[in-house]
Structure 1
């Protein structure tokens, strides 16, 4: 009975983690890793403690990169602190006011508006900051999705023999 609950929890957490890679309020990679921990708890799991430590490190690194990348790329593309703040506010505004397209468009608009508030004369710089913010979103989402999807594949691959054993 416990194996069934752990299996279901692992799958639900992994799938929710993938969704969380796109939705900014849900910690996607962390949920996928929690799913991996649930899979490890199943009696037939072939996951090793070393694999869990490696994936814990991947989870931390991916989370840090996703946190730091928007500010870095926005500034790399010429944006100021105002555009970084605008992009951050845009993420939340897009999520709550205009889902799902707002999650992609509003950080760009927020960075542009933030930069224009900072310096209304330099629209080219504001657009570059918006592009940097957009690229950070795409790159961060891609990195998180890759890690979360791979963890789901590990979970499914690890649990198939367990489920097969229930019916044999």
Structure 2
């Protein structure tokens, strides 16, 4: 039974990291499910209040990082609200249309087209905003990956 429980926990953690490439996968909830599997399978003794407070802080960080980093990079380059919405649509659809690379291509293209067609910006400005969206996505994914890894490290430190 121990092997099955640890396998389920590991699967939750691995699928959570897949959420960095497929944004529709709920990364933070999957990490929490992994922690809960441990708690229900082995007991909640090691998972103290301080553990849950630390994890809650990380979850809040995960949810805000994506928005703040992406918004900052698009805003810094003069992107419109329409570009942010188009980027979000591209983020959700892209990985399913073109697995892997679609995560970057679709938000980039959608931001450029939105800025060019709707906001009537120059090609140079539109491409700059598109590049900003890609930089935001990459930066956000890196920061979220680090935060998720730290969540798992904290978990391991508490249960070992």
Q: TM-score, normalised by structure 1?
A: 0.80
Query: Contact (CA 8 Å) 1:36, 1:151: kept in 2 or not?
Result: no
Distance (Å, rounded) in 2 between the aligned partners of 1:95 and 1:16:
15
On the 8 A contact 2:51/2:155 being kept in 1, the answer is no
CA distance in 2, matches of 1:155, 1:4: 18
1:18 aligns with 2:22: no
Task: Answer yes or no: is the 8 Å Cα contact 1:39–1:155 preserved in 2.
Answer: no
Distance 2:54 2:67 in 1: 20
TM-fit CA distance, 1:17: 0.8
Q: How much does 1:133 deviate?
A: 0.7
Q: Give 1:28 shift.
A: 1.1
SS of 2:142 mapped into structure 1: helix
Alignment of 1:141-160 (within 5 A): 141-156=141-156
Is the counterpart of residue 116 in structure 1 residue 120 in structure 2?
no
CA distance in 1, matches of 2:147, 2:153: 10
Unaligned runs of 5+ in 2: none
Larger Rg: 1
Counterpart CA distance in 1 for 2:98 and 2:23 is 13
Aligned pairs, how many? 159
Aligned to 1:166: none
Deviation at 1:137, TM superposition (A): 0.5
RMSD over aligned CA atoms reads: 2.4
Task: State the distance in 2 between where 1:134 and 1:30 align.
Answer: 25
- Compute the displacement of 1:107 (Å): 0.8
- 1:49 maps to what in 2? 49
Q: 1:79 to 1:44 in 2, by over 3 A?
A: closer
Query: Which blocks of at least 5 consecutive residues in structure 1 are unaligned?
Result: 162-168
Is the aligned partner of 1:90 residue 2:112?
no
Structure 1 residue runs of 4+, over 6 Å off?
none
